[in-house]
Structure 1
């Protein structure tokens, strides 16, 4: 494996950050130029990440140290197959959401802050995935978490401000826990770098356990893990739909990514298995899966149902992390891809429906599939994928996770996955059936004519919806191949 120094990771992170200032300046003079620059920034960022593909797929790692703050403590960047995979996913979805936002946000207030904040949070996510050490990861984690508060409260309603306050409190708690874990790791391991050739903590102790719990709280809060998920069902529904797609599809994954790095770089597989700490993650994962799925059934608000669904889906990822077998890890990383495509499709489709009808209560959406067939067809594809029906990508990720559970000798988790899929069907299928076969609420005799959303919104939705089918139907596809290589890389030590 070859190590190389390159400025490209710094460029990938800093470009959207710098363009934030440009967009903020330009928006004072031209809305069209502001919007064009936002899309341009997201496109260039995606292409810059994609440019790393040939080098990374050869098994190489890119490292770049920016600034040494203290001995063994610096601002640095590092790109391996795992960080590249999630950076590629993030920049791709972000690009589509930026395009979707052009028509969705054109009638909204506060666009002069929406687009700059969108670019800052993109830089924050990429900074997390491309951080070369836990301190740099913490800096960008806090940047992304605090700035995304603006997206949560964008509507400035009472509900939005309340949700934002809860989100902010949970973010501060998670940030403090994460910082505490990093301090303990630095004290015990003498470093927080991801480039060391051994794990950072090698001996079991009370401090080591406190570090593990601190990391679990810090990253678990962002991942929507029970019982730290309480901010998520309130924040997602009140945010603009493109922001909801990013909050659920991408930003939740930063927590899962952080936990992967903690397990494989701070402690190591053997350490986690000897201590039995993975059981803590597994128990919380099972509760998260069942709780999120069960509560989603009771929600009448469309976006709130999707938010609780995200809680349950993140439980799959936590479960994959806890099993530590090769196929479980492949399924875990692939479900990060799958959930990003599925949930982004659902939130963007929901946003189109709400924009065109003003309705968000599920019982009011009867017959909407006849009025907006394209949007509801995309919603249906993603919903079937979420249930885990073959040949969608959701089935492939759950199938691989189930195989990983069998490899670990825990068939009980397969039963949990099956129960969760049943619950998913109970809260998604009624929406689909009512949309295509039900009568429009309140207009049984004279349905109101509703047009489809503008093409700038439909194209991103279509691309994401097709991806849910394409990446499950094809036996070999880029997300699954990346997941397989990343799992192998982590199991070999991740160094």
Structure 2
């Protein structure tokens, strides 16, 4: 079972994908059943591994690809943090996508690549070597591109070309770094305190720059973020997947692996690489927020918010202190819960009442109260208002900055929170305190959502909105995201 569980967890999404690809387009009911059964089965498998790892069990599966080159799936506390998030949100996003897309065209293709994307994300999380990571990292690129261009219009195709241009160049740069590193030290596995113990310092610095640059494309580090706002032409379930579960998280997760499990904190510190990475993350945090302020389209405002928020993970990784590391790791989950809530709500607003711009939000709270309550909770969390999850992340990052002797980070966090408030509070003010237009019809009167889909669009947002609040309110419990992030640091990254 120790070798079987990670294989089954990865295979569940992959098998779901293959079955859906084989279904005829008109087999809507069968497609829905396969989607939901696959997502539920994966959650059960992840739950079994969570219980096992918490009690000290280990899970590993190894397949020899070439002599000295293995495909390694290894379950540790860090990989489970990412896998649990993706499995939970895969189920909710599937429910949302079924309602959002209704009886649209090419749904077997859409849901097939949707599940393949989750399989690639699972592989990234479970990868135990650099080569294994890169294989799934590339599969993620190839499986998300059809989702970005799903609508097939000129804007979608242009966004898809930009997405491929950025991500393929990033992958080439990452591959160059991997080849350079393994050329020096041989096959690299992810291990506690890092793999590297020696090597030419200048070469290691350049290799680190290549790897972080390649990963930084998907993590949307400035100036490598240009693909992300343009990808917002994709359907709302795809936007939710890109921002909360898959692409940007894969980049940030990869940076965590490189810093902690390839180079190791001590070597990164000796090479003088931590501070430049922290500065790059801080610039991205502030730049993303400033750009979000300038956007009137709701999804584009949320996209630039993602550029900013994902770099909290990178910042926590670069500061090295235990509290900062906990803050960065837990934000991987917290940002996912809050951001997917915001995109769920943005999609529901567009489909049920035709609202896509900030200046059209007047009275939306009265017209769609549950949706806007969920949106408000997630937005306040992004600002850092307690007890929502975002407050916990920022608190630990702030304490960690002091612990690491980097008090300037407090200014970055403070400015970021002020900017977060500046681009989120006007939305909440318009939705709750301004009256709706006199001629505004009720929800679904002439929106684009299929009849009867309202609950499928609203319920997932309510669930993730409540989860965003609960992740902060019960942060002191051992099985909370914060408790699990603390366990990761205690077991894996503590001296």
What is the deviation of 1:30? 1.2
| Aligned match for 2:15, one of 9, 18, 24 | 18
8 Å contact 2:123–2:136 — kept in the other structure? yes
Cα distance in 1, alignment partners of residues 439 and 113 from structure 2: 43
8 Å contact 1:185–1:200 — kept in the other structure? no
Cα distance in 2, alignment partners of residues 291 and 41 from structure 1: 39
| Aligned match for 2:135, one of 133, 139, 159 | 139
1:418 aligns with 2:431: no
Aligned residues: 485
Superposition pairs of residues 119-158 of structure 1, within 5 angstroms:
119-158=115-154
Q: Which residue of 2 aligns with 1:245?
A: 240
Cα distance in 2, alignment partners of residues 249 and 194 from structure 1: 24
| Aligned match for 1:6, one of 3, 6, 13 | 3
What is the deviation of 1:204? 4.0
8 Å contact 1:333–1:487 — kept in the other structure? no
Cα distance in 1, alignment partners of residues 303 and 29 from structure 2: 32
What is the deviation of 1:469? 0.9
Q: Which residue of 1 aligns with 2:95?
A: 99
Q: 1:196 to 1:283 in 2, by over 3 A?
A: closer
Cα distance in 2, alignment partners of residues 282 and 196 from structure 1: 22
8 Å contact 1:224–1:232 — kept in the other structure? yes
Q: 1:7 to 1:448 in 2, by over 3 A?
A: same
Q: Secondary structure at the match of 1:202?
A: coil
| Aligned match for 1:490, one of 484, 489, 492 | 492
Q: Secondary structure at the match of 2:64?
A: strand
TM-score by length of 1: 0.95
Q: Which residue of 1 aligns with 2:59?
A: 62
Q: 1:408 to 1:60 in 2, by over 3 A?
A: same
Cα distance in 1, alignment partners of residues 311 and 275 from structure 2: 14
Q: Which moved more, 1:138-147 or 1:105-114?
A: 105-114
What is the deviation of 1:490? 3.0
Q: Which residue of 2 aligns with 1:336?
A: 332
Cα distance in 2, alignment partners of residues 421 and 167 from structure 1: 29
| Aligned match for 1:399, one of 389, 395, 402 | 395
1:43 aligns with 2:40: yes
Superposition pairs of residues 434-453 of structure 1, within 5 angstroms:
434-440=430-436, 443=437, 445-451=438-444
Q: Which moved more, 1:188-197 or 1:79-88?
A: 188-197
Runs of 4+ in 1 over 4 A off after TM superposition: 195-198
1:432 aligns with 2:434: no
Q: CA offsets per residue over residues 237-296 of structure 1, 9 Å max, x none? A: 211111111100012111111111111222111111111101121111111000000110
Structure 1, gaps ≥5 residues long: none
Cα distance in 2, alignment partners of residues 152 and 137 from structure 1: 22
Q: Secondary structure at the match of 2:70?
A: strand
What is the deviation of 1:29? 5.0
Cα distance in 2, alignment partners of residues 11 and 114 from structure 1: 23
| Aligned match for 2:183, one of 187, 199, 202 | 187
Q: Secondary structure at the match of 1:51?
A: helix
What is the deviation of 1:394? 0.3
What is the root-mean-square deviation of aligned Cα atoms in Å? 1.6
8 Å contact 1:59–1:81 — kept in the other structure? no
Q: 1:344 to 1:140 in 2, by over 3 A?
A: same
Cα distance in 1, alignment partners of residues 182 and 206 from structure 2: 13
Cα distance in 2, alignment partners of residues 398 and 218 from structure 1: 27
Structure 2, gaps ≥5 residues long: 445-451
Cα distance in 1, alignment partners of residues 193 and 366 from structure 2: 58
Cα distance in 2, alignment partners of residues 356 and 12 from structure 1: 35
Q: CA offsets per residue over residues 408-438 of structure 1, 9 Å max, x none? A: 1111101110110010001101011101122
Cα distance in 2, alignment partners of residues 488 and 157 from structure 1: 49
TM-score by length of 2: 0.95
What is the deviation of 1:5? 4.4
